[in-house]
Amino acid sequence: MANKKISRISFLGIVFMAAMLCIAPSVNAAKKEAAHGEGGGEGEGKEGKSGGFITLDPIIVNLASDKGKRLLKVSIQFEPATQETAQEISNRQPQVIDALITVLSSKSSEGLLTMEGKIALKEQIMTKLNGILANGVKNVFFVEFIIQ
């Protein structure tokens, strides 16, 4: 029985590390995409214009309820406040990921199952990221949200 628990913890650790290693290419791709959109058209002017969407690879965390037996897998996209936000997220990636993990893992499964809980979580993520990033984000979108 103890070996099963250790195997499950090891497996979850490997999945978590793989997810973290996959985030860097997505942030770099978003950075390049935002950089290509800077010249001409609706991307002109930096203030008040979006720099495209920034996509992070899925994040998996243990939820606070049920003694860590419930998992949340979430894929998030951000709408940056300015075009510089993609570069800033890339430069401050460890802080961004830490902020997301901290907010997500503090939630209970019961609170996240409701529409109000998901909306409140989006607002908390935006508040946390806007406290870290100089340029901030305008919106947060969940493109995958699984509680198991």
CA-CA distance, 145 to 55, in Å (whole number)?
14
Residue found by looking up tokens 């606070």 in the block: 64
Asked if pLDDT for residue 4 goes beyond 80, the answer is no
Q: What is the pLDDT of residues 101-135, one digit of tens each?
A: 999 999 999 999 999 999 999 999 999 999 999 98
Would the pLDDT of 61 be above 80? Answer: yes
Question: What 3-state class would DSSP assign to 74?
Answer: strand
Share of the chain above pLDDT 70, in %: 64
Whole-number pLDDT of residue 7:
57
pLDDT at 66 over 50: yes
What's the mean pLDDT in 14-22? 47
Domains parsed from the chain with CATH numbers:
2-39+47-147 (3.30.479.30)
